Each structure stands twice: as structure tokens, then as C-alpha cells.
Amino acid sequence: MSKPVLVVGGGISGITIACEIADVGKEVILIERESYLGGNVMKMNNYFPKLCPPSCGLEINFRRIRQNSRITVKTETIIKTIEGQKGNFRITLQREPEYVNDRCTACGECEKVCPYDDRPDEFNQYLNATKCIFLPHEMSFPYRYAIDGIYCAKEECGKCAEVCPHNAINLKAEVVESVVEASSIVFATGWMPYFADTIENYNSGLAENIVTNVEMERLLAPNGPGNGKVCRPTDQKEPTQIIFVQCAGSRDENNLPYCSAVCCSASLKQALSFREKYPNAGVKIFYIDLRVAGRNEDFLVKVQSDPGIELIKGKVGKITEDKVTGNLFVEAEDIMSGRKIRDEAELVVLATGIMPSIIINTRLNRDQSGFLSSGQQESIYVAGCAKKPMDVASSLKDATGVALKAIQSTL
């Protein structure tokens, strides 16, 4: 039982679990498939309940990780196999090639000479492109550059390695497997947005000025592709009228049959943020039911009192595009008046739901919606949005409870 706890997923839930377990004296191995910690929260403009920027809560936890030698962080790492049982798990890990090692100081000399600048930027929801060697974002942890092995020419180019003053780049790096032992395992693998282009009547994927709620979050963010300036993808024009479409694919038997719990609050937050940036712009929100809980009721009241925001109870049935202007026409039935309406907007935001991240080799069951369920697996736990949709505050509470269970299982 003296073996470490393995935490899978370096989002806010996984980080919280790792810090809480390490703080009571247990060794922790924290693995993350991306090149940085922070998960989806790190990509947000701000989050509930205090509308804090991601740096607010994550910076503190990053400091906790740096100061606690009991936490071992392995990025760009996934699980290949799990063997054993409670107190004696044997896990094979697979790490992607470590092209940039921990000698990197993020000086940026490598990025300056990289001739390739067509790598889709995952951090910014693919709304822009980066060089093949890149710093994921300004608060990256670990704070070092990464190389995208798919887009990089590696040794055929080699310019980044030539100019690196610290010999931190190895373009010959290969996939490495390692074996670790653990007393218990926690899956905090988070969520991913639903695929908007599968919602046929919403024209997503064909009309460029339709964005999803996660893309809107990056457009609003000061470190986003527009540095906080919200621009239409087609012409980089700042919109004066936008429409939010709630339950885009959610509560729909053909897509996601469940409510994702956070979409309404997120749209209210984004509508207020947009109005703060553009006080002369107009916002309309089409919804089936507005579901906000606890302190988020305050946001609903604030939105309702904003003269520039109109709430319309009615499910959107169709979105079409004006091929000349790029504007969009949203068709819905206004439930309160009983009439059909057709509103024009320069930008449409689809509040797509959330679904569990794709992950294999868990030894866990999944419920009918695909979320992980620990079931009868002793000493293998699930936390945060890996088990069900929840907001940041709920994820933190859940993560703390799961950390306690993981600690108790090792006693």
C-alpha cells in the first residue's frame, strides 16, 4: 500500500486530486496526454462561479505541484495496459516522442527559425495555426516548447535543433514505454465537446460563421486567436448581432439524449462578456429551458435585465446562410407567442453539449451515455466530468471526495 496513486488526466480535477493526495504524504504519478496541464479549464476565458480567469485557480495548483516532490508529472503520456489489483496495479505507460526535453527555457529561438506555420492550434480550438514547434500557451505547465510530430519535418529540416542554445531538442526521439506500480488509480479524463457538424439542420461545418460555445470561449479570451477581439471567421468583422442556440444536439435522441448541465450558464456568461466588449451589439438566446443552479441564478437575473439581450423560448429548427454576406438566418417557433420567427445574425453560437473524452484501457464500465463508471472495480475511481457533466465548482468538490477515497484505499 506504500505504492503511489496513479492519476490519469491533468485537468483541474486531476490536478486537484494529485495535490490533495500528495499533501497528506502519498506519492502521486499524474499523467496527461497533452503537452501541458490544465485541460479544458485552461482554454476558458473565465469560469463560474466568480468569473475568474483560468490563471486564478490553476496557477496556485501549479505552484503546489512545483513545491511538492511527491508529485511526478508525465505529459504526452497515455495508458497502454493495466494489470493487477488493489494495492498492486502494474500499468504500462506510453509516452509520445520527447522532442523537447526539460532543458528547454522557452527562449523562443527555435520558433523564430521554424519555416512551417500551418499546424492547427488545438489550444485555440483550431481557429488559427502555429509553427510546428510552439509554446502551447503563456501559462504552460511544464513551461517549455513542444513539437507536433505530424506537421514537423524533423531531421529533414532540423533548424530548431541547430539554434537551440541548451541542446533541448532531439528530433530523433521515439515513443517510449515504461511500467509503473500503483496502489490505486483515479481516472479524471474530463470531457470533449459534441461534434456540431453532426447536427444536420444547423448547417454547422458548412457555414463558417457558425461557431461552437468552446470556440466562442477562445474568441472572447484575451489570449485567444483575436487577443480578445471577437471576429467572424469569414471576414474578421466584429459582429453587431449574434444568436446563441441552446441545446444544440443535447436532449435529442438523434444526438445527445441528456442535458450537459453547464451549457445554459456558459451561454449566459458569454452573452454578458460579449455585451461588455460590445455594448452597442445585440444578443438573442434561443432556448428550450434555461437550467441554471445555485449562484448561477444571479447571472440569469442579470441577463434578463440587460436591454441588449433577448431571451426567446423556442427550439431552433433550421439555420441557413446568405452566401453573399455570410450572415445567418435562424428559424424557430416562439413558444410564448406561438408564431414562427426568422432572425438574422452575423454570428451564431451553438451551445453544444459535452461528452466523455475518448480513452481506452480503463478496466471500467461506461453508462449508456459513455461516461465512466467505477462499478465493482476496487481501488479504481472516476472523478469530475469523466463520470458525468458538471461545472468547475462541482468538479473540484467531486475531486476532493475522490482523493479521500483513493487515500483511504491505500491504508
Q: Which domains does the chain have, with CATH numbers?
A: 5-96+175-190+357-409 (3.50.50.60), 109-163 (no CATH), 195-353 (3.50.50.60)
For the record, the C-alpha cell of 320 comes out as: 441557413
Give the residue among 271, 265, 315, 273 at the shortest CA–CA distance from 290. Answer: 265
Q: Which amino acid is at 1?
A: M
- Residues 275-284: b if buried by 16+ CB within 10 A, e if exposed: beebeebbbb
Q: What is the DSSP secondary structure assignment for residue 229, as one 8-state letter?
A: -
CA gap 395, 12 in Å, rounded? 8
Q: Which residues contact 273 (CB under 8 A, 6 or more apart)?
A: 45, 46, 220
> Is residue 196 within 8 Å of 350, Cβ to Cβ?
yes
Count Cβ atoms within 10 A of the Cβ of residue 223 and give its class: 0-12 exposed, 13-18 middle, 19 or more buried: middle
Q: Radius of gyration over alpha carbons of the chain, in Å? A: 23
pLDDT at position 82, please?
A: 95
Give the residue among 329, 242, 327, 249 at the shortest CA–CA distance from 288. Answer: 249
Report CA dihedral (128, 129, 134, 138) to the nearest 10 degrees: -10
CA gap 270, 264 in Å, rounded? 10
pLDDT at position 294, please?
A: 67
Do you find a cis peptide bond into 142, omega within 30 degrees of 0? yes
- Cα–Cα separations (whole angstroms), residue 409 to 1, 2, 20, 87: 8, 11, 15, 8
- Cell 484501457 belongs to 361
For the record, the C-alpha cell of 322 comes out as: 446568405
Handedness of CA 26, 84, 188, 32 (dihedral sign): positive
Which parts of 68-139 fold into alpha helices (H)? 109-113
3-state secondary structure of 292: coil
pLDDT at position 203, please?
A: 78
CA gap 346, 267 in Å, rounded? 17
CA gap 36, 42 in Å, rounded? 10
pLDDT at position 375, please?
A: 61
For the record, the C-alpha cell of 211 comes out as: 461557431
Q: Containing H/E element for 8?
A: strand 5-8
pLDDT tens digits, one per residue of 364-383: 889 989 999 876 578 999 99
- Cα–Cα separations (whole angstroms), residue 275 to 236, 295, 307, 319: 18, 21, 10, 23
Q: Which residues of the chain have a pLDDT value below 70?
A: 1, 49, 294-295, 375-376
CA gap 80, 243 in Å, rounded? 43
3-state secondary structure of 160: helix
Phi/psi at 90 (5° precision): -125, 115
CA gap 76, 74 in Å, rounded? 7
